Structure 1
Amino acid sequence: MRFDYEQVHLFASELLRALGASPEAAFHVATSLVKADQIGYDTHGVGLLPLYSQMISSGAIVPSASPVAEKITDAICRVDGHLAFGQLTGEEATKTAIESADNHGISVCAIGNGSHLGRLGEWAEEASSRGMVFLAFTNTGGGAKNVAPFGSHERKLSTNPIAFGVPTFGALQHNIIVDFATSQVSGSVIREHDRTGAQLDSEWTTTDSGKAVPGARSFMEGIGAMLPLGGRVTGHKGYGLAIIAELLGGLAGGVVVGQEDPEWFSNAAMFIVIDPTRFLSIGEIEEQITAIAEHLRDDNVRLPGEGAHDHKLSAEKSGVDILEYVLESLATLAVDLNVEIPAFLSHFRTRATDSNDKHKTW
C-alpha cells in the first residue's frame, strides 16, 4: 500500500514523541526511517518502531538522550551515543567525520553506546553526497548473537553490517553505495519473514544437523543460526568480514563478543571518511566512474546504489510503499501509546484496538 511521504513521516514523528523523543529528535529519526522505506529497505523503515518501543521499555534506547562527540586528534574522534536513537548518533558521527576529512583529507570516528544505528547505508549516502568516500564497520556490543561462525551451527556472532560509499560527482545519477550484513541476510529480514509467514531461503540458516531452520518462527524461538555471508560453501569470506567488523567495532565501543552477554544489543562502529580529491581531480574521478559504468552495465546489470535510487524516484511519484503488517503494527503501537490513528490508517483502527499487543512479538 502506498502513502504520501509527509503522512507517514508525521505519524512516525508522533509515535516517536509519544515514546519520549524531543520534537527535533523525532523529526530526524522519522526522516531516517521513512527514507529507508522510500528506497525499498522496509526492514529498516517505520516497521522498526515497535521494536524501538520494546528497546525503550528495556532501557536499550534512552529516547531523551543525545550523542556527544569528542575530538581525540585533528583526524580522530569518538561519539558516545549514550543509548540515544542510533540515527542521531550516526548522523553526529558522519557530520563530525566529514568536517574533519574536509580539513585533513581523512578521518576516523568511533561510535560507542549506539543503540541501533538503523540503515548503515544512510551514512554512506550522506558522506558520498558531500564528495567523500565512506567505510563503516559495526558490531553489537556482544548482543544479538544470531550468526554461526563458518563450520559451526551455534549462534556466536551478530550480523555485523558493513557499508561503503563512493561519490560519483555527477558522472552517474547516484553515488556508489554498498550496505550489507556479513551474514546471509540481516536479522530484520528474518523478523519480516516471521511476520509475513514467508519461507526462509534454505541457504540463510543452519541447524546442528546441517539442514536449514524449518521456518522463521522456529528461528525466532532460538532454533539454529544464520549462516555467514557466502553460506555453507564460501562462508569463510563472510565470516572473515564479520570478525574484522567485530574487532573494529570493539576498538570503537570497547566490547566484542565473548566479553559480555547483554540482554539487548547496542551498536558500536568505526566510520572512516576519505577525501578522494586528495588523490585525483573530480574530473579524473568522473572519468573512472563513467568508464566502469559503461564497462559493466547491460540490461541485467546495475551498479550498487542504482536500485535504491530508482526506488526512491518511484516512491516520490507514486508514494511510499508500506507493508500491511507494518501498518497494522504501527496502528497497534499507536493504541498502546494513546496516539490518534491517522485517517489513512483508519482501516486498521478496529484491529489495532482488538489486539493491542501484537507488536510485542518483534
Structure 2
Amino acid sequence: MRRIHASDLRPFVAELVSGLDASEDVAETVAESLVEADLRGHGSHGSIRMGTSYLEMIETGEIHPRATPELEPLSGVTAQVDGNGQYGQVVGRRAVEAGIELTEDRDVAMVGVRDASHLGRIGEWAERAAEAGRCFAAFVNTGGTDPLVTPPGSADRLFSTNPLAFGVPSFGALPHPIVLDMATSQVAHGKVTKRAVENRPLPEGWVVDEAGEIVTDSDEYEEAGRGALMPLGGLTSGHKGFGLAMIAELFAGIVGDHPVTGQGGGEWVNNGAMFVFADPDGFSNEAANRERVEALAGMIRDAEGPDAVPMGPSAKGDRARIPGEPEHETREKRLAEGIPFHEETLELLADVAREVDAEAAIPDSFGV
C-alpha cells in the first residue's frame, strides 16, 4: 500500500484523460471528480476508473470525449441535459448547475439527464447542490446497459445498481453537508471491480449464483460472469432494494427521456437520471433548519453504543455516523497524509499512461 498525494495524482489523471482525446477543460473536470472520490474514501469511483472502464469505453465509443452536453429548458422549473456520451463527470456538473440556476428564482426544479455515459460518484452531485444551499435528490439508471443485479428469487443479471443520492445543507450546524449516496443493490459494482483488481475476496451476502451459492471470488464474478449482485437487503429483505431499483429505473427513464432496463442493452454503463432541487428558504428559514440539524446530530452522537450491538460487516466504524461525515473526515486526513492505493491499482494506472503516451507523467511516488 502506497500513499499518493492529491497534488500529484490530479495532474496525472488529467494527463490520462487528455491522452484519450479530451480537451484540457474536460480533462481537468474529470480528474477533479475522480480524485475527489479517492479523497473521500470512494476509490471504486476514483482514479481506478481510468483503467477498469473508461479506457475501454473510449476505445469502443461509449464515451465521446469531444462531445458537448446540451441543455434543453422545458419550463420555468424543468430541463433536460443530453450528455451526448461525454464523460459523466462533465454531464453531471452541467445538470447540477442547471438545477441551481433554475432554483435561483423558484423554490423547486427538476432536471432530467440522458446519455451521460458514467455519472461517476453520484454523491458528488448531492454535495455540489447542498453546498450551493439546495436540498437534492437523484435517481439513476443505466438505460438497460451493463446489467449486474438480480431481482429477489433469481440470479439473472437484469438491473443496474440504480444509485440514489440525497443532499441537505447543514445550515452552519456541521462542517459538511448531509449527503447519502447509496446503491439499491447490496453494494456498488465499482467496489466489486476494485476488489478484483486488488485480488481481494467479496464479503458473503453480496453475490449469489443460480445454484443459490454465495459467491466470494471477485474474479469469478467479474471475469467469469458467475452470479449476480443481490438487491439491497439480500436474502432477508431484498424485495425492498428491488422496489427502490424499479422506482429509480422509471424516474430516471421518464424524466431523463432515457431507456430503462428491458429496452436497451450493452456492455458499458450509460446513465440516465432524475435530479430534484429545492431551495430550503422557500419553505423554512436558516435558523430553524440549523436547529433541526443540530437536534438530529446531537441525538445520534448521544446514542448509546454497547459493544454487544454490532454495526454489521459492511459498516465503517463501530458507531452510527451522520451521512457525509465519514467522507468529510476521510478527505481531511487524506489531504494531509495522501491517498492509500494498492500496488495493483498503481500498476494498472501506469499501464494506462504507457498506452496513451503519458508515461512521463507517472508520479515518482507510484514506485512503478
| Secondary structure, aligned partner of 1:7 | helix
Find the counterpart in structure 2 of residue 116 from structure 1: 118
What's the offset of the Cα at 1:324?
2.0
Instruction: For 1:305-316, list aligned pairs within 5 A.
Output: 305-316=324-335
1:58-85 Cα offsets, whole Å, 9 max, x none, are 0000011121111000100000000001
Instruction: For 1:1-362, list aligned pairs within 5 A.
Output: 1-50=2-51, 51-220=53-222, 221-251=224-254, 252-298=256-302, 300-339=319-358, 340-345=360-365, 347-348=367-368
> Distance between the aligned counterparts of 1:304 and 1:332, measured in 2?
36
> Distance between the aligned counterparts of 2:257 and 2:115, measured in 1?
7
Which runs of 5 or more structure 2 residues have no equivalent in the other structure?
306-318
The TM-score normalised by the length of structure 2 is 0.92
What's the offset of the Cα at 1:256?
0.7
1:267-286 Cα offsets, whole Å, 9 max, x none, are 00000001111111000000
Amino acid paired to 1:282: E
Q: 1:280 to 1:325 in 2, by over 3 A?
A: same
Find the counterpart in structure 2 of residue 360 from structure 1: none
> Distance between the aligned counterparts of 1:41 and 1:284, measured in 2?
33
> Distance between the aligned counterparts of 2:277 and 2:127, measured in 1?
12
Greater helix share, structure number: 1
> Distance between the aligned counterparts of 1:266 and 1:287, measured in 2?
40
What's the offset of the Cα at 1:341?
4.1
| Identical-residue share of aligned pairs (%) | 38
> Distance between the aligned counterparts of 2:136 and 2:361, measured in 1?
39
What's the offset of the Cα at 1:261?
1.8
> Distance between the aligned counterparts of 1:341 and 1:123, measured in 2?
29
Amino acid paired to 2:97: K
What's the offset of the Cα at 1:346?
6.0
Is the CA contact 2:186–2:233 (under 8 Å) kept in the aligned structure 1? yes
Is the CA contact 1:327–1:345 (under 8 Å) kept in the aligned structure 2? no
Is the CA contact 1:159–1:242 (under 8 Å) kept in the aligned structure 2? yes
| Secondary structure, aligned partner of 1:73 | coil
> Distance between the aligned counterparts of 1:39 and 1:12, measured in 2?
17
Stretch of structure 1 that moved more, 123-132 or 212-221: 212-221
> Distance between the aligned counterparts of 1:243 and 1:20, measured in 2?
36
Find the counterpart in structure 1 of residue 315 from structure 2: none
Is the CA contact 1:38–1:321 (under 8 Å) kept in the aligned structure 2? no
Amino acid paired to 2:262: G
- The structure 1 segments of at least 4 consecutive aligned residues displaced by more than 6 Å after TM superposition are none
Amino acid paired to 2:230: L
Amino acid paired to 2:13: A
Stretch of structure 1 that moved more, 254-263 or 240-249: 254-263
> Distance between the aligned counterparts of 2:206 and 2:221, measured in 1?
11
Q: 1:91 to 1:254 in 2, by over 3 A?
A: same
> Distance between the aligned counterparts of 1:239 and 1:101, measured in 2?
32
Count of aligned residue pairs for this structure pair: 348
| Secondary structure, aligned partner of 1:290 | helix
Amino acid paired to 2:152: F
> Distance between the aligned counterparts of 2:206 and 2:5, measured in 1?
34
Stretch of structure 1 that moved more, 244-253 or 121-130: 244-253
1:114-168 Cα offsets, whole Å, 9 max, x none, are 0000000001000000110000000001111110012211111110111000111
| Secondary structure, aligned partner of 1:131 | coil
Is the CA contact 2:4–2:366 (under 8 Å) kept in the aligned structure 1? no
> Distance between the aligned counterparts of 1:343 and 1:242, measured in 2?
40
What's the offset of the Cα at 1:265?
2.3
| Secondary structure, aligned partner of 1:46 | coil
Is the CA contact 1:133–1:276 (under 8 Å) kept in the aligned structure 2? yes
What's the offset of the Cα at 1:250?
1.0
| Secondary structure, aligned partner of 2:67 | coil
Find the counterpart in structure 2 of residue 358 from structure 1: none
Stretch of structure 1 that moved more, 334-343 or 311-320: 334-343
Is the CA contact 1:176–1:304 (under 8 Å) kept in the aligned structure 2? yes
1:212-242 Cα offsets, whole Å, 9 max, x none, are 1241111112111110001001111110110
1:73-120 Cα offsets, whole Å, 9 max, x none, are 010000000000100000000000011022111000000100000000
What's the offset of the Cα at 1:327?
1.0
> Distance between the aligned counterparts of 2:339 and 2:24, measured in 1?
23
| Secondary structure, aligned partner of 2:250 | helix
| Secondary structure, aligned partner of 2:215 | coil
> Distance between the aligned counterparts of 1:343 and 1:80, measured in 2?
36
Is the CA contact 1:111–1:270 (under 8 Å) kept in the aligned structure 2? yes
Amino acid paired to 1:118: G
Q: 1:71 to 1:343 in 2, by over 3 A?
A: closer
Amino acid paired to 2:10: H
Is the CA contact 1:196–1:325 (under 8 Å) kept in the aligned structure 2? yes
Is the CA contact 2:146–2:265 (under 8 Å) kept in the aligned structure 1? no
